[in-house]
Amino acid sequence: MTDTTAGSTAGSDAGSDAGRRRHRVREEALADAMRIARRLLVEEGPAAVTVRAVAREMGLTAPGLYRYYAGHRELVQALVSHLYDELATALAAARERQPPERPGPRLREAARELRRWALAHPNEFTLLFAKPVADADTGPGAAAHDPGWRFGGVLLDLMVELWRHGGVRAPTGLDPAWTVQLEEVREHLAGAPVPLEVIYVFVASWARLYGAVAVEVFGHLDFALTDPGPLFEHTVGDILTALGDPTA
């Protein structure tokens, strides 16, 4: 009688090895594509991030890259997702410089890290927040939607912690048009029963923080300031006061 067990096991092991090699090759190709796409973004701007350009740098034809990305949108969405994940990781690490029981100082550290990252990576910041190409969107259904919310969640969760301390100055009598728009934000708060008026304060705080960073990154304070750092710190202090931080 022929023993088929050993042959079957050997065939299975060979198949597993081949599968692992294919997976490794694919992961290496995806990492290479992201590295090249980011370099093109930094050196030549967002319009330079094309399937053809990335494929050429990888030694592939454009159709060859379609094995990994279905087209320009998928490529840009992957790059945007990668950058949001990097930024979220940086903000989370900065947050941990302060103890968990101090959400205000933790938010201050995260805000400072946002500014630092943006100034160190202006083209990446532009792609994420100025949306210079339509395929960089983070709307519902986009591949970058969840990574964008992971970044936002670092800041939003700290704002919720401040609200739990009871000091947020919430407005009254919001227009119903506001409340409809703010419902989606509440859906991302992991069940926290945050009133819509408070979420309005969160959104307004983010708008001020983003504005303080963007106006510096895009050079719109050069006419008046050689060092916008103190203005940024003052803005963050105002935000923390509005969010009820007792240490602000």
**Same domain for 130 and 59?**
no
pLDDT at site 41:
98
The Cα-based distances of 18 to 15, 30, 190 in angstroms read: 5, 18, 41
Q: Do 128 and 54 reside in the same domain of the chain?
A: no
**70-113: pLDDT as tens digits:** 999 999 999 999 999 999 999 999 999 999 999 999 999 999 99
Mean pLDDT (the chain, rounded): 90
Q: Is the pTM of this model over 0.85?
A: yes
* pLDDT number for residue 248: 78
Same domain, 190 and 79: yes
Pair (32, 119) in one structural domain? no
Residues ≥6 apart with Cβ < 8 Å to 226: none
170 lies in some domain: yes
Alpha-carbon distance of 105 to 195, in angstroms, equals: 23
CB 167 within 8 A of CB 243: yes
Radius of gyration for the chain, computed over Cα atoms and rounded to the nearest angstrom: 23
Q: For residues 94 and 180, what is the distance between their CA atoms, to the nearest angstrom? A: 33
The CATH number assigned to the domain holding 168 equals 1.10.357.10
- The per-residue pLDDT for 176 is 82
pLDDT of residue 171: 84
CA dist., res. 171 & res. 178, Å (int): 12
Same domain for 62 and 81?
no
Contact 117, 84 (CB under 8 A): no
Examine the domain organization and report whether 23 and 128 are in the same domain: no
> In the chain, how many domains are there?
2
Domain region containing 110: 73-242
The amino acid at residue 88 is: A
- How far apart CA 58 and CA 187 sit, in angstroms, is 41
**Tokens 């949001």 correspond to what residue?**
84
Write down which residue in 69, 86, 104 finishes a domain.
69
Considering the domain boundaries, does residue 194 fall inside one? Answer: yes
Q: What pLDDT, in 10s, does the model give residues 139-173?
A: 999 999 999 999 999 999 999 999 988 878 888 88
Per-residue pLDDT at 4: 56
pLDDT in tens, 185-243: 888 776 668 888 899 999 999 999 999 999 999 999 999 999 999 999 999 999 999 99
Answer yes or no: are the C-beta atoms of 30 and 68 closer than 8 Å.
Answer: yes
Print burial letters for 101-134: b (CB count within 10 Å at least 16), e (below 16): eebbbbbbbbbbbbbebbeebebbbbbbbeeebe
pLDDT of residue 51: 96
